[in-house]
Amino acid sequence: MILRTDHVAGGVAIAAGLLVWAASGDLPFGRLSMPGAGMLPKLCCSLMILLGLVLIVRAGDSAPFSTIEWGDLRHAVPVVVLTAVAVALYTTLGFIITFSLLMFGLLAIERRNLIAAAAYSVGVSVGTDVLFSIVLKSPLEAGLLGF
Amino acid sequence: VGSTFDSLMLGFSVALQPGVLWYAFLGCVVGTLVGVLPGIGPLSGISILLPVTFGLDATKAIVMLAGIYYGSQYGGSTTSILMRIPGEASSVMTCIDGYAMAKKGRAGSALCIAAVGSWIAGTFGVLMLTVIAPPLAAFALKFGPPEYTALLVLGLIFLAYMSSTSLPRTLLMAAVGILLGTIGTDMTGHFRYSFDISELGDGIGIVPVAVGLFGLGEILSTPSASVTGQVLTPKMRELLPTREEWRQSAMPIARGSILGFLIGLTPGSAHIISSFLSYAVERRFSKHPEEFGHGAVAGVAGPESANNAASTGAFVPMLALGLPTGPITAVLMAALMIHGIPPGPTLVSDHPDVFWGFVASMYVGNVMLLALNLPLVGIFVNVLRIPYSYLYPLVIMFCIIGVYTVNNSVVDVWIMLIMGVLGYVLRKFSLDPAPLVLGLVISPTFELSLRQSLIMSNGDYLIFFQRPIALVLMVIAATLLTLSGISLLRKRADWRAKLAEAEAGEPSA
């Protein structure tokens, strides 16, 4: 049997439905005349499981899983990692330092000229900070260094 | 008619105030840029700029954000015609004949026809919005919880029916969205899935989800090496079409305006579907269908008019019924709600200045866009010369700022990042994230009206079939569900399959 995209998508939908259902144990379903907090989530979980099964049954219409092109992961993974690091450091380092580093990092993995990348990153970060602080009167996060 | 005219005059008195005019202009400029730039759609543009509107009053906020939406429909044609890259999904069909016209040295003419067609269609759409929305809102005042439940069910089924992906996939995404919408405190005070994270007590916001799925997800799926393109620069003297080109574009613009507006009223990616259907209609009506794909004027005029009329038509259910027909109107609804103004039947009566000011601003905005898109096309084209590798870090930065500023919450930014990864994965599996956002938006209203209906009827679900309006809505929903089911079983490639192909960026002439 060829593993197809809908086999995987359907399997994930069923697993997610079961997982959320299990996490909903303490939520009361209630009665039809007085529905509880768990009614809609459990209906949605049931629907996800049902539709997951439909996807698996009809998976023959979908593309083989092996045909999915993952070449862009080389771009996506560094972007996600660098963004995650920036999010984690944002409130500590503040806007200007965090985003100068993030943008420089992203431009560095794109193999741009490092001096131009540094100038662009710092320029854009400082410019945006000024835009939000002065023009839009909505100051961005200041870090430990006070900016 | 008299009262509508008086109300519209009230709207113009609001829309022509310098402050409102400025934000309409700003929205139009940003919208054009969003449309021009590949990889940034109107949804991410609106979401990113949503926090900027917090300091504004509701009228200015909605005027600016709506300007971004319909402005992006104008701007999307520029890259389609000059680079054969759709700046916005609804401009996919314009790539075919627009670029072919550009290669024949008629780029300026194609841009002019697209801009004028967009203006006529946009103005027609606003005119229809002016006429239709108030009586529809008055009618919707008769709606109780069962009618709203039925309306939301119909909205979801209609979305699934119109979707270019399959029915189970669309419903699955909508179910995930509704489930995400149940996170937080429910109407009886139960904390659901908040896992002791206090920020989740208020639920998941629309902005982090929308920006993550559409803005960040798009960036993750677009390596900079894949964004290349040669920009054809039109000369100013070439901007005016010939008399024959005007003649060829007149009827396609008229048909595209009507078709686009009608499709805009329905849930789904109306602005995309309308341009696709308009292209098919024009090829069917044409005396020279063989010219399509080789620079047919109608192939530019029809789709560009249709997508603008559709984007205006989408405001009718949003303003009159409080029903978002897609993720963009969902975010616009959220913007109004953040300002304490619930869209829906009471909007016209309770906040006439906001409603009519918004409607009037769209007349003004369409004129601004016509003025912007023709003389300034050279400036917008220059934006396309910025390398994508410099552009996308900037977009990521604005995504983070946009999401963080809503609640000053890092949790929201983490949600955005998770949604970005989810958006990337969904694209790999050809799952459309739009129903997820729609599900998230309607989830609270859907749950409230469903539970209220069941309490009203003492648990009798027949309440949805005993009240006339709810019954009609349920019958339509059942009919659409049946039609979708038949189509699913026949496994026949219909217009939706062709739309999916077009959305995937493989337009065939």
Q: Is A14 at the interface with chain B, CB within 8 A? A: no
Chain B hits for A108, Cβ within 8 Å: none
**A56 close to B (CB below 8 A):** no
Give residue B507's pLDDT: 39
Q: What percent of chain B has pLDDT over 90?
A: 17
pLDDT top residue among B449 and B55: B449
Which residue of chain B has the CA closest to A64? B429
A-chain residues within 8 Å CB-CB of B219?
A: 79
Asked if residue A44 has pLDDT above 50, the reply is yes
> Which residue has tokens 């009608």?
B262
Nearest by CB: A32 against B414, B420, B454? B454
Q: Give tens-digit pLDDT for B89-117.
A: 677 778 888 888 888 888 888 888 988 89
Q: How many Cβ pairs within 8 Å bridge chains A and B?
A: 162
pLDDT tens figures, B361-371: 888 888 888 88
Cβ neighbors of B154 (< 8 A, separation 6 or more) are: B473, B474, B476, B477, B480
Residue of chain B nearest A122, judged by CA positions: B394
Q: What is the largest CA-CA distance in chain A?
A: 68
Average pLDDT over residues B472-495: 78
The pLDDT tens digits for A76-120 are 999 999 999 999 999 999 999 999 999 999 999 988 889 999 999
pLDDT digits (tens, 9 = 90+) for B230-284: 666 666 667 788 889 899 999 999 999 998 898 888 766 677 778 877 888 888 8
Helix axes B42-49, B388-407, angle to 10 degrees: 50
Highest mean pLDDT among B253-257, B323-327, B380-384: B253-257
Q: How far is B268 from chain A (nearest CA, A)?
A: 20
pLDDT at B2: 66
Nearest CA-CA distance, residue B319 and chain A, Å: 27
Which residues 158-217 on chain B approach chain A with CB closer than 8 angstroms?
Answer: 166, 168-169, 171-172, 175-176, 178-179, 182, 186, 188, 190, 192-193, 216
Give the gap in angstroms from C-alpha A52 to the nearest C-alpha of chain B: 8
pLDDT (0 to 100) of residue B99: 84
Report how far residue B364's alpha carbon sits from residue B261's, in angstroms, rounded to the nearest whole number.
Answer: 19
With 50 as the cut, is the pLDDT of residue B506 above it? Answer: no
Pairing between β-strand B191-192 and β-strand A30-31 as defined by DSSP bridges: unpaired
Which of B157, B422, B429 to probe the A interface (max A CBs under 10 A)?
A: B429
With an 8 Å Cβ cutoff, is A54 touching chain B?
yes
Inform me whether the C-beta atom of residue B56 falls under 8 Å from chain A C-beta atoms: no
Contact A140 B458 (CB under 8 A): no
Q: Does B451 touch chain A (CB under 8 A)?
A: yes
* Residue in B176, B193, B223 nearest the CB of A48: B176
By the CB < 8 Å criterion, does A66 face chain B? no
Mark yes or no for CB contact A128/B52 under 8 Å.
no
Tally Cβ neighbours within 10 Å of residue A30: 17
Q: What is the DSSP letter of B5?
A: H
Query: Are A54 and A9 in contact, with CB atoms under 8 Å apart?
Result: no
Out of B178, B393, B491, closest to residue A40 by CB: B178
Classify B154 as helix, strand or coil: helix
Give exposure, B379-391, as e/b (b: 16+ Cβ within 10 Å).
ebbebbeeebbbb
A99 touching B (Cβ < 8 Å):
yes
Q: Per-residue pLDDT for B85 more than 80? A: no
The average pLDDT across A2-28 equals: 93
Any B CB within 8 A of A9 CB? yes
When pLDDT is cut at 50, 70 and 90, the band that residue B498 belongs to is low
B382 at interface of A, judged by CB pairs closer than 8 A: no
**3-state DSSP call for residue A35?**
strand
Nearest by CB to residue A47, choosing from B175, B224, B417, is B175
In this predicted structure, what is the pLDDT of residue B140? 80
**Hey, are the CB atoms on A51 and B175 less than 8 Å from each other?**
yes
Q: Which residues of B touch A118 (CB under 8 A)?
A: none
B494's tokens: 């219909």
Contacts of residue A105, defined as CB under 8 A and 6 or more positions apart, other chains included, come to: A82
- pLDDT over 60 at B494, yes or no: no
Q: Is A47–B394 a contact, with Cβ atoms under 8 angstroms apart?
A: no
Query: Is A22's Cβ below 8 Å from some Cβ in B?
Result: no
Chain B interface includes A86 (CB < 8 A): yes
* Three-state secondary structure call for residue B343: coil
CB B303 within 8 A of CB B276: yes
Q: What residues contact residue B490 under an 8 Å CB cut-off, 6+ apart?
A: none
**Contact yes or no for B175 and A39 at CB 8 A:** no
CB contact under 8 A, A39 and B451: yes
Token pair listed for A14: 């069923």
Q: What confidence tens digit (pLDDT) does each residue in A48-71 have? A: 999 999 999 988 888 899 999 888
- Alpha carbon of B397: minimum distance to chain A alpha carbons (Å): 7
Residue to substitute from A77, A110, A111, interface B, most B β-carbons within 10 A? A110
Q: Residue B465: which pLDDT band, with cuts at 50, 70 and 90?
A: very high
Confidence of residue B509 (pLDDT cuts 50, 70, 90): very low
Is the confidence at residue B508, as pLDDT, over 50? no
Does B420 have pLDDT greater than 90? Answer: yes
Backbone angles phi, psi at A35, to 5 degrees: -65, 145
The pLDDT value recorded for residue B341 is: 86
Amino acid at site B95: C
| Residue B489 CA neighbour count, 13 Å, CB half | 5
Contact B413 A41 (CB under 8 A): no
Residue holding tokens 């639920």?
Answer: B203
Q: What is the mean pLDDT of residues B431-435?
A: 83
- Those of residues 477-506 in B touching chain A at CB distance below 8 A are 488, 491
